[in-house]
Structure 1
Amino acid sequence: MSKLDTLQAALEKVLAGQILELKREFDEITIRVSPVDYLAVAKTLRDHSELRFEQLIDLCGLDYSAYGDGGYEGPRYAVASHLLSVNKNWRLRLKVFCADDDFPCVAAVTPIWNSANWFEREAFDLYGIIFEGHEDLRRILTDYGFIGHPMRKDFPTQGHVEMRYDAEQKRVIYQPVTIELREITPRVIREDNYGGL
Structure 2
Amino acid sequence: MTSFAIDPEVLKDTLALALGDKVKSLVVALGEVTLTVTAANYLEAMQVLRHAPGCKFEQLIDICGVDYSTYRDREWDGLRYCVVAHLLSVSLNQRVRVKVFCADDDFPMLPSVMQIWNSANWFEREAFDLFGIVFEGHEDLRRILTDYGFIGHPFRKDFPLSGHVEMRYDEELKRVVYQPVTIEPREVTPRIIREENYGGLH
Instruction: Indicate which of 44, 49, 54 corresponds to 1:50.
Output: 54
Match of 1:11 in 2: 15
Deviations 1:144-167 (A, max 9, x none): 111100000000000010001112
Match of 1:91 in 2: 95
Aligned residues: 194
Question: Which letter does structure 1 place at the counterpart of 2:54?
Answer: E
- 3-state DSSP class of the match of 1:144? coil
Which segment is superposed worse, 64-73 or 95-104? 64-73
Instruction: Indicate which of 159, 162, 165 corresponds to 1:161.
Output: 165
Superposition TM-score, scaled by structure 2 size: 0.90
| 1:69 to partner: Cα distance | 1.4
CA RMSD of aligned residues (A): 2.2
Structure 2 gaps of 5+ residues are 1-5
In the TM superposition, 1:1-197 aligns within 5 A as 3-185=7-189
> In structure 2, what is the Cα distance between the partners aligned to 1:48 and 1:184?
50
- 3-state DSSP class of the match of 1:17? helix
| 1:185 to partner: Cα distance | 2.8
Deviations 1:68-103 (A, max 9, x none): 312320000010000000010010001100000000
Which segment is superposed worse, 167-176 or 28-37? 167-176
Residues 79 and 101, structure 2, Cα contact 8 Å, conserved in 1: yes
- 3-state DSSP class of the match of 2:73? coil
- 3-state DSSP class of the match of 1:74? coil
Question: Which letter does structure 2 place at the counterpart of 1:34?
Answer: T
> In structure 2, what is the Cα distance between the partners aligned to 1:23 and 1:62?
19
Residues 195/130 of structure 1: CA separation in 2 closer, same or farther (3 Å cut): closer
Structure 1 gaps of 5+ residues are none
- 3-state DSSP class of the match of 1:92? strand
> In structure 1, what is the Cα distance between the partners aligned to 2:193 and 2:73?
30
| 1:23 to partner: Cα distance | 1.1
